[in-house]
């Protein structure tokens, strides 16, 4: 009986061991990815990272790394031409690379004035200084959305760097008043983002294209350089019209200046010396007066001095005013485009004859429009139009496609070139189509 029990115990132990051996397994450990930065493999050195403290300077920082006074002076003398010591400010980073032997000696150190740029000081043979930059990569991001309470809030909700707001406002400064945009208006924007070492976000690099709905219309924006020598980038819509409207030189088609902006002029009606804060353009009564730039009619009415007048606000910086009209053709709050007729020349108010007094405001102050350097944009040269259309076609399709997916709309159709029929040679009339006479039916 004892022998039988011992035999059973041995068999049980044997099978248990086999089962255990079959079930034993080892976790696969992923190899640790080496840290490589500044072109240096951190695994080859003992790395000591330091941060500039309050009242720190290069001497104090190097002294903390156990350099002798003689060595500190030698290093400073070598680096002073390559490393701007004024950039060593609080919270800036230093990284020291020490040998892995028993001496633990500093072989190199790196100073980072910002995320991208760095100064590498090599101490292995002699003191050598290198000014370098980390590798940059650029990633395209295209999104579509709807405006919420403000442009800032909208970009924040879409997890977009707020710096894009300034770019968009600048591009659309003459086309869209974002303070008057409606909540729910659609938009799409494509831009490039910078990444250092392919991982560290470094901000927005450039705006590729965009569209915003404004007053029921999509306003596109595409950057384009017309002259490669000048290298000036302007933004245009899908038809090649400049977004940044330049001011017309005058509110009339025929220019006849009779009085300019001056701080001292003898008034022809009041017969006194006083400032004249505008430019007078003489013209027959009834001559159309144009607004010199796109904007909104801020005031339209009559005063004893100005007569019938209109004031147009173009953006938060610029406004223009047109005085002595015989007739006002716009109303307060009305949107007007550059070149729209807003009134007619007259001599109402304090005027000695028919003319328009054109006044110009910058930041709420009347200035001389003839001397002011105004924002302008070169109109699209007809020779550049085919190149521009070819350039923006895939960009526009990209915007429209992203918007269509976002808003569950039909995808934009592929653009197909119209099939042109071969032209008929000159002097040869086209053959007339043959007409087949219907058979006559006999009357019964």
Tell me the H-state helices in 160-307.
Answer: 163-171
- Residue range 401-424, pLDDT digits in tens: 999 998 888 877 654 443 444 444
Where does 211-342 have alpha helices with state H? none
> What are the distances in angstroms from CA 241 to CA 56, 158, 222?
55, 29, 10
d(CA 243, CA 253): 22
Q: What is the pLDDT of residues 96-143, one digit of tens each?
A: 999 999 999 999 999 999 989 999 999 998 899 999 999 999 999 999
Instruction: Give per-residue pLDDT as tens, 281-297.
Output: 999 999 999 998 888 99
pTM of the model: 0.60
Closest CA to 363 of 315, 425, 300: 315
| pLDDT score of 432 more than 70 | no
Nearest Cα residue to 243 out of 307, 149, 176, 332: 176
The fraction of the chain above a pLDDT of 70, given in percent, is: 81
Q: Look at residue 424 in the predicted model and tell me its pLDDT.
A: 45
């Amino acid at each position: 009986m004892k022998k039988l029990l011992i035999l059973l115990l041995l068999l049980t132990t044997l099978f248990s061991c086999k089962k255990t051996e079959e079930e034993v397994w080892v976790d696969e450990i992923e190899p640790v990815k080496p840290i490589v930065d500044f072109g240096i493999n951190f695994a080859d050195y003992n790395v000591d990272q330091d941060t500039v403290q309050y009242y720190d300077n290069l001497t104090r920082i190097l002294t903390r790394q156990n350099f002798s006074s003689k060595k500190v002076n030698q290093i400073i003398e070598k680096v002073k031409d390559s490393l701007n010591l004024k950039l060593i400010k609080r919270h800036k980073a230093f990284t020291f690379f020490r040998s892995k032997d028993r001496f633990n000696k500093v072989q190199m150190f790196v100073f980072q004035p910002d995320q991208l740029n760095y100064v590498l000081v090599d101490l292995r043979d002699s003191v050598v200084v290198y000014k370098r930059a980390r590798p940059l990569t650029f990633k395209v991001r295209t999104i579509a959305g709807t405006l919420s309470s403000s442009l800032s809030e909208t970009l924040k909700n879409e997890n977009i760097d707020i710096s894009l707001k300034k770019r968009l406002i600048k591009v659309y400064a003459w086309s869209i008043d974002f303070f008057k945009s409606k909540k729910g208006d659609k938009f799409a924007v494509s831009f490039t983002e910078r990444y250092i070492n392919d991982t560290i976000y470094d901000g927005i690099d450039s705006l590729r294209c965009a569209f915003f709905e404004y007053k029921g219309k999509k306003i596109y924006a595409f950057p384009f350089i017309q002259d490669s020598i000048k290298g000036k980038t302007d933004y245009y819509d899908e038809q090649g019209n400049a977004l940044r409207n330049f001011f017309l030189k005058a509110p009339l088609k025929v220019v006849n200046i009779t009085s300019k902006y001056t701080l001292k002029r003898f008034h022809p009606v009041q017969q006194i010396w006083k400032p004249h804060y505008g430019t007078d353009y003489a013209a027959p009564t009834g001559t159309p007066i144009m607004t010199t730039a796109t904007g909104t009619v801020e005031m339209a009415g009559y005063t004893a001095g100005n007569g019938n007048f209109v004031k147009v606000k173009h953006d938060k910086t610029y406004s223009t005013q047109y005085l002595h009209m015989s007739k006002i053709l716009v109303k307060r709050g009305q949107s007007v485009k550059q070149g729209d007729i807003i009134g007619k020349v007259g001599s109402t108010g304090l005027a000695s004859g028919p003319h328009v007094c054109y006044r110009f405001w910058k930041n709420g102050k009347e200035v001389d429009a003839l001397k002011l350097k105004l924002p302008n944009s070169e109109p699209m040269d007809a020779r550049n139009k085919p190149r521009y259309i070819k350039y923006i076609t895939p960009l526009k399709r990209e915007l429209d496609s992203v918007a269509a997916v976002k808003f569950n709309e039909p995808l934009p159709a592929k653009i197909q070139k119209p099939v042109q029929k071969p032209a008929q040679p000159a002097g040869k009339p086209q053959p007339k189509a043959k007409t087949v006479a219907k058979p006559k039916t006999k009357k019964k």
